[in-house]
Amino acid sequence: MRPNEGYVELAEFGQDHWSTLAYAETVMIDYAGFQVGFDGRMRQGRRNYRIMKEQCPKPKRTRPGMGVVMDAKYSTRLRNDEQVAGHDDWHCIQDMISAELMGVVDGSKPNGVDVSVDRMEPGVTLTLTPRGWQVAQQLRQHKAAGGRWKDFVPTE
């Protein structure tokens, strides 16, 4: 298991990154964005669980009591099956922002999305960037053709 230091690069994204992207995209479509906060379907480490629960107590998509603190053995799996210690779904979202696949909705930006990772905090709304929408479409096509999450590699 490797330590959780810095952002995971796009080339290393594996099953957990891609399944999280697919989930976030579905929520973005259904709810006009993905709100950062306590979401019962997101794997969460103890630190992120506490922060999300305290700072965003009534997000748009959850019922009270749904969240369960993630066990360390469920840390994010990378493309090569290595795990990143304590890395959860919210870390995957930060990695996607760092890779400029998604960002904070911001009408003052040229494409309406701010890809600054430091803008991701409880209560803000995320959306995909133009590149993120392209990758999400490729991911859906990959899965529809019978592909596995961990084998997906986006094309330029």
Give the C-alpha separation, 149 to 133, whole Å: 17
Question: How far is CA 21 from each of CA 28, 55, 136, rounded to the nearest angstrom?
Answer: 10, 23, 7
pLDDT tens digit sequence for 32-85: 888 887 665 666 655 555 556 666 666 655 555 555 556 777 889 999 999 998
The model's pTM: 0.84
pLDDT tens digit sequence for 121-146: 888 888 999 999 999 999 999 999 99
Give the C-alpha separation, 44 to 64, whole Å: 15
Strands (E), the chain: 34-35, 102-105, 113-114, 125-128
Tokens (6 digits) for 16 = 């957990």
Residue 9 has pLDDT above 70, yes or no: yes
The domain spans of the chain are: 10-136
Give the C-alpha separation, 63 to 92, whole Å: 23
pLDDT at 36: 82
Question: Can you say whether the dihedral through the CA atoms of 55, 99, 9, 13 is positive or negative?
Answer: positive
